[in-house]
Amino acid sequence: MTPFLNNPSLLYTIIKMKALDAITDKLFTLISHDLRVPMGEVMGSLELLSPHSNELSPEDKELLLGEMKNSTRQSLALIENLTAWSRYQVTGLEIQKIPLVVQDVVISAVSKLTYLWKSKEQLVDIQISDCLVLPMEPMLIATVLRNILSNAMKYSSRKGLITIQAGWSDDSRWILIEDHGLGMPPGDATDLVRLRVCPPRPGTEGEQGSGFGLWLCDELMKKLGGKLEITSIPGQGTAVLLRFPEEDVEDL
């Protein structure tokens, strides 16, 4: 009989490593495509600007610069997501939670996406008490919020409304992010969270994404001991609920 079959701990480690290898393969398939495309767009714009800069109108130059800026932001967001995932999944770094004021964390995440919601003239309504405190790891929760908020802004129309609330129930504390944008069928949300390969949908103004942001958020919420829940209706919008365990709050 194979030795590891008599060693449950070793068997579990082998299964876990194989699962991690499969996820890593999927991630790098996505990443190789989603870095190559925006970088190719930047290179194409630079090639147009370099030899023909004197021939281009100010409007054309502004358009090319805007495209390069968007492509660079897309690549940077992808790299930040990969960094957050690898920091804890690959290195096995232990998560250190500290008490954070939820309102401050949310305001910081929204401010880092100012270019996105301001360019679409959207309203971000933060309805959170400044007294609500949760034990969280700063980098992980910032990554989760950035991904969910950018999705809400990306798939909301110009002058759309994004609402952010937070509170508590009997068994958990929560943060709720709602938009009134494109929405999606329930099966699509499940596919994205499970990292099933599917072409990412463009936003309401053609914004691109990597297709693994929701999967990453789900993984990071598990690392935080929490849970991610998605409710979405096509044509009506999406609500993403982040639940945090009540026992963490009792330790404050």
Q: What pLDDT digit, counting tens, does each position of 167-181 carry?
A: 988 778 999 999 999
Amino acid 190: pLDDT? 77
Per the structure, the count of domains in the chain is 2
Q: Choose among 211, 170, 239, 245: nearest CA to 31.
A: 211
pLDDT at 35 over 70: no
Here the CATH number for the domain that contains residue 135 is: 3.30.565.10
Q: Which of 37, 56, 89 is the last residue of a domain?
A: 89
Same domain, 165 and 56: no
Same domain, 154 and 239: yes
Same domain, 74 and 103: no
Mean pLDDT of all residues in 96-121: 91
Same domain, 30 and 130: no
pLDDT at 2 over 60: no
Q: Which residues in 104-223 belong to E strands, given as ranges?
A: 123-127, 133-136, 161-168, 172-179
pLDDT at 216 over 90: no
Mean pLDDT of all residues in 113-126: 91
d(CA 82, CA 189): 20
For the entire predicted model, the pTM comes to 0.73
- What's the mean pLDDT when you consider all of the chain? 78
Q: What stretch of H or E contains 232?
A: strand 227-233
pLDDT at 191 over 60: yes
pLDDT at 116 over 90: no
Q: pLDDT-derived band of residue 107, with 50, 70 and 90 as boundaries?
A: very high
Tens digit of pLDDT for each residue in 83-100?
A: 776 666 655 667 889 999
Here the CATH number for the domain that contains residue 14 is: 1.10.287.130
Mean pLDDT of all residues in 25-51: 62
DSSP state letters, 121-134: T-EEEEE--TT-EE
Q: Which residues pair with 115 in a beta bridge?
A: none
Amino acid 213: pLDDT? 80
Q: Which two tokens stand for residue 142?
A: 């910032």
Total residues belonging to the chain: 252
